Amino acid sequence: MTRALTITKQVSFRSARRGRKVIEDGAASKAPDLGRVPRVSRLMALAIHMEELIRQGEVADYAELARLTHVTCPRVTQIMSLLHLAPDIQEELLKLPRSKGGRDPVQEKMVRSIAAVPGWRKQRAMWLELNVPGPAVR
């Protein structure tokens, strides 16, 4: 006579890329919510990276960058305009605290208006007026 065999094992399900489901051994481990990097910080890093690609000769110009990234030439120009900011402001943008939810405290549009000002001293004054969280630029 055969006996029923029962196996008990803890598994967890999570979503992966493109909605695919993944089964994992053990209980679901909740990763701590670190927040997300602010969009303007990511764009600043992208501008620095794209400038390096041009400097190294891997990309010829902004038009080629636009084709490779599937964005318009004016958008590439907007992103690259962040490089006109004073170096200390660029550093502050890269070090902005992670956002836990809601809107980012610093919007790209605000920063672009500062980058349009030619003098770094005026840029720093405008940056301080934004009341950005974190260490202040002097």
- Asked if residue 23 is part of any domain, the answer here is no
User: What is the Cα–Cα distance from 40 to 38, expressed in whole angstroms?
Assistant: 6
Q: Please enumerate in sequence order all residues whose Cβ is within 8 A of that of 8, keeping only pairs 6 or more positions apart, or say none.
A: none
User: What is the Cα–Cα distance from 124 to 127, expressed in whole angstroms?
Assistant: 5
Instruction: Indicate the number of domains in the chain.
Output: 1
- Asked if residue 135 is part of any domain, the answer here is no
- Asked if residue 122 is part of any domain, the answer here is yes
Residue range 27-36: average pLDDT?
71
Which residue, among 117, 120, 92, has the nearest Cα to 105 in the 3D structure? 92
- Asked if residue 55 is part of any domain, the answer here is yes
- Asked if residue 18 is part of any domain, the answer here is no
Tell me how crowded residue 28 is: count the other CB atoms within 10 A of its CB.
11
- Asked if residue 25 is part of any domain, the answer here is no
pTM (whole model) above 0.75: no
pLDDT tens by residue, 32-83 = 678 889 999 999 999 999 999 999 999 999 999 999 999 999 999 999 999 9
- Asked if residue 4 is part of any domain, the answer here is no
Please check the confidence at residue 135 and state whether its pLDDT lies above 60: no
The token duo for 87 is 């170096």
Range of the domain at 52: 39-97+106-129
Q: Does residue 101 contact residue 116 with C-beta atoms inside 8 Å?
A: no
Please check the confidence at residue 4 and state whether its pLDDT lies above 60: yes
Q: Please enumerate in sequence order all residues whose Cβ is within 8 A of that of 98, keeping only pairs 6 or more positions apart, or say none.
A: 34, 35, 36, 37, 38
The proportion of the chain whose per-residue pLDDT surpasses 70, expressed as a percent, equals 89
What is the predicted pLDDT for the residue at 1? 65
- Asked if residue 11 is part of any domain, the answer here is no
